[in-house]
Structure 1
Amino acid sequence: MERYKIIKEVGDGTFGSVWRALNKQTGEVVAIKKMKRKYYSWEECINLREVKSLRKMNHPNIVKLKEVIRENDIFVFCECNLYQLMKDRGKLFSEAEVRNWCFQVFQGLAYMHQRGYFHRDLKPENVLVSKDVIKIADFGLAREISSQPPYTEYVSTRWYRAPEVLLQSPMYNSAVDMWAMGAIMAELFTLRPLFPGSSEADEIYKICSIIGTQNETEWAKGLKLASAINYKFPQVS
């Protein structure tokens, strides 16, 4: 860590905090993710899910892991995230801006999905922006598509969570990333979350109020999932 000069903290999450730093040797600005848990061996660090995922990724729209230093991951630095851009925004983004950003996210997702990974935690905070270049970040919940279910049902901030996850499905796939991206895209156009549920049940209600109540023809699997947890879809037209 002697090579890096810490500038300031730019984010704090469940598993670690993110700091802007300067590489004293090259002058490059980077983001350092400081993990909150202490790791006692190099193998533990290297086997972290986020590290394993990112070591296999090399794409302009996915944040690049430059190196791992025991307890700290060094990433390419990006200026801000989509949440910050929307939060401070006074007027709507242009269609060209939204189209450009979403195209880049979809490029990154296509690369990731083709290589057998899905993100599971896509939300505006995890989409980083720097000079109109988008990078998908935070792979702490990423899973290999070939890995064995059941998966943990608590993934992604509730507002971007796919219905099958809300209904506690033990099996899901890369489609959950596409659902999250659809919600993010709508939010970029309106500057308001599409499904701002206050609980899992309210989240499903908000979804149904927009896309309608699901039936056997439209989503038989969803009705089975709901029945398994004794949940009845709200009747909305």
Structure 2
Amino acid sequence: MEQSKYALVVLLLLGSCLSGCLSESPSKASISLNVSADSYNGTLFESYADGEKISSTNLTVEFDFSLTSSSSQLVTFGLDTMDGREPVTINAMNDSLIQVEFFNHGIYDVTAFAIDEQNVQKNQTISIHVELSIDWVESNTYEPKALAFDPIPLNGGPNPSMIEVNSVVENPSLLEEFETGAQSVQITWNIVDEQNDVCQKKTTQIQDGDSGDWYTIHFNTYQAHQLTISYDDGQDSINVHHSLPLLYED
């Protein structure tokens, strides 16, 4: 009986010691990462006049980490665009907003992350779709230039789903007050690939003072292309306006 009591006391003491050791072990911190972007879709714009680029705009996206929490002190918020650039980081104790600029079209699966004082890191993937819209204008030209466009994204992500081609060609009237001497022109639009093969084309006759247009959708987004206009008949100068959006699936 005495031995049983002694054994019980020993077990209680051991349990107490183990309980103390376990309670003193630091628990691993838990991070609840909650990051939002002020925009998940955006468009870059490029404008050309007579074959020369005159303006371009980039896309800036702001990422908000303010709803992120942790059982331990957070020290770093960061964002990796996964396109070869260095991650952008900020001090989590002083700030919660990160702005990132995108210069090229593509789908960017960026990685947002938070790091606490125990060097525990939590990641979150956010998809940003960046499209491209090209605006091209030529005035009073006898030799329309080729508009080159490359749908291949530089970040290595998925290719665009399609390219919209919207082109208007005007045959401006040279004799606004007289109908005599007016000339029509016949032109052909061509979408040409890297092998100089014509993928799509359209021919139209444009009377003096009138305009013609071509709207089409091009699905070959795996090669660079050119949009060209050639004269088939007539010698009048023309005005050209192309609009080419490179579009990604939502």
Question: RCO (CA 8 Å, sep 6+): is it higher in 1 or 2?
Answer: 2
The structure that has the greater radius of gyration is 2
Shared fold (TM-score, shorter chain, > 0.5): no
**Which range, TM-score by smaller chain?**
under 0.3
TM-score computed with the length of structure 2 as normaliser: 0.23
* TM-score between the two structures when normalised by the length of structure 1: 0.24
Larger helix fraction of residues: 1
Select the structure that is richer in strand: 2
